[in-house]
């Protein structure tokens, strides 16, 4: 890496560090790009060079902690139990994490999930990474003969994650829903999907 590139990377690091600090300390709506620039000790123009708007800056600043939490939850998932019970550990870990600053992560969710993928690259990367890890878990279940071999692992992975995401929306909308309540709700939905809705004995 040459000196110019190193300087650019250092500027980006300072901006993200400042943004992360301010987003947690102040109301996101009141935290301007100019305020972040002042905290980082760089020009306002430098912030815009690295991040085209405040949403892009927020996503980049918060995605590292989110990705680290996902990874930690996956790595500490119980080795035994049904798949619904095991992945409940992941959901609970994430809900506890988001509950640490529900207002900030509500703002992140509402600002990013309906944007095009090109505008939210960190979100796309985190979701893809998680879905692929979940596919591996499902494939292991199939190998151990605890799940039918003809199950489409990616479709099932997306279904389980979609149920979690639906609960996540309710979690952010309703302050009365605790992390434990949210994780249990997602587990019940996952369990019903995994168990199946059809009764084979009644099918012709």
* pLDDT tens digits, one per residue of 152-179: 999 999 999 999 999 999 999 999 999 9
- pLDDT of residue 124 exceeding 90, the answer is no
- pTM for the predicted model, two decimal places: 0.85
Q: What is the average per-residue pLDDT within 106-131?
A: 86
Q: Which H helix or E strand runs over 1? A: none
DSSP-H helix ranges across 144-200: 153-173, 179-195
The set of residues, in sequence order, having a beta carbon less than 8 Å from that of 139 and lying 6+ positions away, is 153
CA distances from 119 to 5, 77, 91, 111 (A): 23, 31, 26, 11
Q: Would you call 78 helix, strand, or coil by DSSP?
A: coil
pLDDT of 148 reads 87
pLDDT interval class at 120 (50, 70, 90)? confident
Q: What ranges do the domains of the chain cover?
A: 1-51, 54-195
Per-residue pLDDT at 200: 52
Position 5 scores a pLDDT of 66
Over residues 47-78, the pLDDT tens digits come to: 999 988 888 898 988 988 898 999 999 999 99
Task: Note the pLDDT of residue 204.
Answer: 47
Query: Which residues are within 8 A (CB) of 164 and not within 5 positions of it... i.e. 6 or more apart?
Result: 91, 94, 186, 190
Q: Return the residue matching tokens 């012709």.
A: 204
Q: Which comes out higher in pLDDT, residue 198 or 30?
A: 30
Domain 54-195 = CATH 3.40.30.10: no
Task: Report how many helices (DSSP H) and strands (DSSP E) the chain contains, helices first.
Answer: 9, 0
Secondary structure letter of residue 27 according to DSSP? -
Indicate the helix (H) or strand (E) that contains 74: helix 54-75
Phi/psi region, residue 81 (left: phi>0; alpha: psi -120 to 50; beta: rest), is: left
Q: Alpha-carbon distance 72 to 151, whole Å?
A: 27
Which is it for the CA torsion 191, 97, 77, 155, positive or negative?
Answer: positive
Residue 166 tokens read as 């639906």
**CB distance 23 to 17 below 8 Å:** no
Report the phi/psi class of residue 78: left, alpha or beta, with left for phi > 0 and alpha for psi in -120 to 50: beta
CATH of domain 1-51: 1.10.10
Q: Is the pLDDT confidence value at 203 over 50?
A: no
Q: What is the mean pLDDT of residues 25-39?
A: 86
Predicted confidence at residue 201, as pLDDT, reads 55
- Among the residue ranges 23-27, 101-105, 183-187, 198-202, the one predicted with the least confidence is 198-202
């Amino acid at each position: 890496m040459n000196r110019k590139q190193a300087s650019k990377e250092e500027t980006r690091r300072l901006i993200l560090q400042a943004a992360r600090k301010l987003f947690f300390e102040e109301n996101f709506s009141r935290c301007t790009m100019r305020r972040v620039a002042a905290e980082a000790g760089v020009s306002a123009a430098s912030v815009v060079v690295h991040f085209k708007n405040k949403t892009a800056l927020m996503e980049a600043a918060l995605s590292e902690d989110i990705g680290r939490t996902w990874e930690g939850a996956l790595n500490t998932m119980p080795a035994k139990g049904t798949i619904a019970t095991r992945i409940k550990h992941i959901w609970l870990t994430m809900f506890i994490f988001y509950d640490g600053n529900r207002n900030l992560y509500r703002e992140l969710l509402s600002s990013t999930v309906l944007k095009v993928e090109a505008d939210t690259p960190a979100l796309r990367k985190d979701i893809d990474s998680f879905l692929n890890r979940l596919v591996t878990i499902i494939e292991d279940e199939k190998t151990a003969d605890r799940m039918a071999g003809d199950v489409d692992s990616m479709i099932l992975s997306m279904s389980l994650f979609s149920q979690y995401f639906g609960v996540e929306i309710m979690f952010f909308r309703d302050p009365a829903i605790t992390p434990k309540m949210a994780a249990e709700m997602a587990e019940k939905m996952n369990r019903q999907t995994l168990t199946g809705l059809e009764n084979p004995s009644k099918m012709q």
